[in-house]
Amino acid sequence: MIRRSLRSLLLVEDNPGDARLLREMLSEGGAHKMGMTHVESMSEAERQLGQASFDMVMLDLGLPDAHGLEAVRRARAAAPRVPLVVLTGLDDESLATEALQEGAQDYLIKAQIETRGLLRALHYAIERKAMEEALFAVKERAQVTLNCIGDAVVCTDIAGNITFVNLVAEKMTGWPAEEALGRPMAEVFRILDAVTRQTTPNPMDMAVVQNQTVHQPSNCVLIRRDEFETPIEDSVAPIHDREGKATGAVIVFRDVSAARAMAQEMTHSAQHDFLTGLPNRMLLNDRVDQAITLSARNTKKVAVLFLDLDGFKHINDSLGHPIGDKLLQSIAKRLVSCVRGSDTVSRQGGDEFVVLLSEMAQQEDAAISALRILDAVSQTHPIDQHDLHLTASIGVSVSPDDGMDAETLIKNADTAMYQAKENGRQSYQFFKPAMNVRAVERQSIEESLRRALERKEFALHYQPKVKLATGEITGAEALIRWTHPTRGLVSPAQFIPVAEDCGLILPMGRWVIREACKQARAWIDAGLPLYTMAVNISSMEFRDDNFLESVFTTLSETGLDPKSLELELTESVLMKRAESAASVLRTLRTRGVQIAVDDFGTGYSSLSYLRKFPIDALKIDQSFVRQITSAPDDTTIVTAVIGMGRSLKLRVVAEGVETREELEFLRAHQCEEAQGYYFSQPVPPSQFGILLKSGIPESAVIVHR
Ligand code: C2E
Ligand code: MG
Ligand code: MG
């Protein structure tokens, strides 16, 4: 019956009779193989326990050198991990109970001992001790684990009083375990809703009532004992007894300030522009919508100012992106300083900004803000070693008239901004519904333009240039024609600006040069008298890096003599970045290509500049030619241009000649060449071929004196 684990027993008993009796009982119970050491005093016992290891100690509580509880304590101190069974006299039962509390596993009343009882007691004592040890190990492991994990853990009993806090929980609540234990949960674990600042319902109660794990709302803050706040995330689970009845709860929580800060930062960067830190398009849309809703209630107005910088691209390209970036940051600061704190300045991307003016009393306030902004932007921006100057164009839309939602309002402000740009820089423009019609029109032109080339909707018409002295055709000007599948013929004045804006002018221009060169070569090969083929070149084409290469490739591929090609450029194209324009012109000139200044007199060219350019011809704009008939007393410009052309040794071509009167005036003033409906409209190639063969009818050119 006695366990094999009981192999050595220390009996501490000063009464020889009792000792003998016990020994006999043990041997009778089959424990004769067990080693038993018998000592008669506590000091002797302590010596033995210090030297050898025992599986069990039986201790009489009436020793000569230690009595009662003192004996128990000394025995426990000498061998804390060895099971202890105490022996008492009959009248010592209360002492025996105390002994159990001190750590003895069992007690035997000497007068009542009999063999079976003794053996059972020893057996249980060993088991109980083993269980105690195991339990201790489990508890210890749990304790160490709970103190090692990064989460805070607090346990309560069913009444909600704290029964356990781990180290992290101590730190986060500010309550040391010894002070926290036994206190009501709500006192130690104080949590608020971060937004409403209301106390959240006690999670322990919820867990116990619902009898399941519950989580706190995600925006909880824990208030530490010193009032410091930590955002937390937690879960609470009920603890059950064997019957499944809740006996308390355990709450696990962790500091989520880093995660929440990260989440906040992510939200911030999703809603702000990285370069300027201003709200981005997304956040602006929200704010505009909010402002509109609010304004409907308080009968105020909301304005959106769409701002685009004039010439920013030029600064960015010439001085480099780092300076461009700093300039945008500087603009951002100026814009913010121009508006109230309740207004929003946002960057849409590139050099576009949108300002939201909320709660405006009247529309004029938006105009005042726009002027203030235009002024602030135009002040010098000192960036690195540069003093940068630039202007802006602003489009303004106002709710409710121009839109009841962010998208419409911003789109309309954008449309108005385009109008402002067209009106001249450094200006603002209020949106008008008519602008939209134009914008829609433009949009639809752009869409069909994109398909026009591949669908072969373009054609070239040719208009002759006539030598006034002889009436012979000196050349042709190629003019593009677009037959839109549904609109029919669309004028170049309508679609060329759109093609310039969206970049389609480049492939289109290449097509025009190739087609014109091919046609000129064909006429020359057919033996027809064509000296030059003039092609119009727009600003963007001329500035394109591949322009020269493309012209020369086309010439060599079509086999047209470069001297037969004349490029028509307007004054403004030449004046913009005059130095680089001059160098491109020189390259063309060395190869023999001729250059004409188109629409001369309408731009702002200065004569001194004009001298620098290798130019062959000036084309007098038709508005001046018209003056010959409409304001015959004021023909100074025409005569001045003719004179100037002659002194610069340039050919002078009068454009748009419609009447015999104009023709005669021009001839009288020694203008060399002319072009216009009077001689011929621009015509398709087949008709132009006939013109080349037969010449301009004599009646049209011979002046009757
Ligand atoms: P532009 O180069 O000054 O061309 C002269 C314009 O005046 C042409 O208009 C022509 O048809 C018109 N015209 C000619 N004689 C008379 C006349 O006696 N009276 C009146 N009222 N008009 C006359 P179009 O063809 O509509 O072209 C307009 C402008 O579009 C051109 O002005 C030119 O700047 C541009 N353009 C035309 N074709 C092309 C092209 O292939 N490429 C580029 N980049 N621009 C082109
Ligand atoms: Mg022209
Ligand atoms: Mg012209």
Q: For residue 400, say if its preceding peptide bond is cis, omega within 30 degrees of 0.
A: yes
Ligand 3 centroid–CA 596 distance in Å is: 10
Sequence-distant (6+) residues with CB within 8 A of 454 are none
- Binding pocket residue ranges, ligand 1, CB within 6 Å: 463, 478-480, 491-493, 496, 509, 512, 536-538, 568, 598-599, 622, 655-658, 676-677, 682
Q: Where does the pLDDT of residue 421 fall: very low under 50, low under 70, confident under 90, or very high at 90 and above? A: confident
312-to-214, 274, 347 alpha-carbon distances in Å: 57, 19, 14
Ligand 1 center from residue 477 Cα (angstroms): 9
Which of 562, 586, 565 minimizes the C-alpha distance to 574? 586
Beta-carbon contacts of 569 under 8 Å, excluding residues fewer than 6 positions away, are: 537, 542, 595, 596, 597, 598
Q: Which residues surround ligand 2, an ion (CB under 5 A)?
A: 536, 568, 598
Judged by average pLDDT, the poorest of 54-58, 598-602, 650-654 is 598-602
> Region 426-452: what's the mean pLDDT?
86
For the stretch 412-416, contacts whose Cβ atoms lie closer than 8 Å and that sit 24 or more positions apart, written own/partner, are 412/304, 412/436, 413/304, 413/305, 413/306, 413/354, 414/306, 415/439, 416/306
Tokens of 176: 């040391």
* Residue of minimum CA distance from atom 24 in ligand 1: 492
Torsions phi, psi for 526 (to 5 deg):
-80, 5
Contact (CB, 8 A) for 460 and 408? no
What is the reported pLDDT for 515? Answer: 97
For residue 463, give the ligand 1 atom closest to its CA: 14
* 603 pLDDT tier (thresholds 50, 70, 90): low
Q: What is the best residue among 495, 533, 536 to mutate for testing ligand 1's pocket, by most ligand atoms within 8 Å of CB?
A: 536
How far is ligand 1, taken at its centre, from the CA of residue 458, in Å? 15
**Residue 585: which of 623, 553, 543 has the closest Cα?**
543
pLDDT given for residue 5 in this prediction: 64
Q: Which of 461, 479, 505, 567 to mutate to test the pocket of ligand 1 (most atoms within 8 A of CB)?
A: 479
Contact 25, 36 (CB under 8 A): no
Q: What is the identity of the amino acid at 18? A: D
CB-based burial, 510-536: b 16+ in 10 Å, e otherwise:
bebbbbbbbbbbebbeeebebbbbbbb
Low-confidence winner among 131-140, 537-546, 672-681 (lowest mean pLDDT):
131-140
The pTM of the full predicted model, rounded to 2 decimals, is 0.51
Q: What is the DSSP string of 70-82?
A: HHHHHHHHH-TTS
Pairing outcome for strands 301-310 and 391-399: antiparallel
Cα(619) to ligand 3 centroid in Å equals: 7
pLDDT at 574: 83
pLDDT digits (tens, 9 = 90+) for 80-89: 888 999 888 7
Residue 310: pLDDT band by 50, 70, 90 thresholds? confident
Contact 165, 181 (CB under 8 A): yes
Side chain identity at 433, as an amino acid letter?
A: P
Q: Cβ contacts of residue 590 below 8 Å, gap of 6+?
A: none
Q: Which atom of ligand 1 is nearest to the CA of 491?
A: 26
Q: How confident is the model at residue 91 (pLDDT cuts 50, 70, 90)?
A: low
β-strand partners of 565? 533
Strands, sheet with 35-39, edge to edge from the N-terminal-most edge strand: 35-39, 8-12, 56-60, 84-88, 106-109
Q: How confident is the model at residue 700 (pLDDT cuts 50, 70, 90)?
A: low
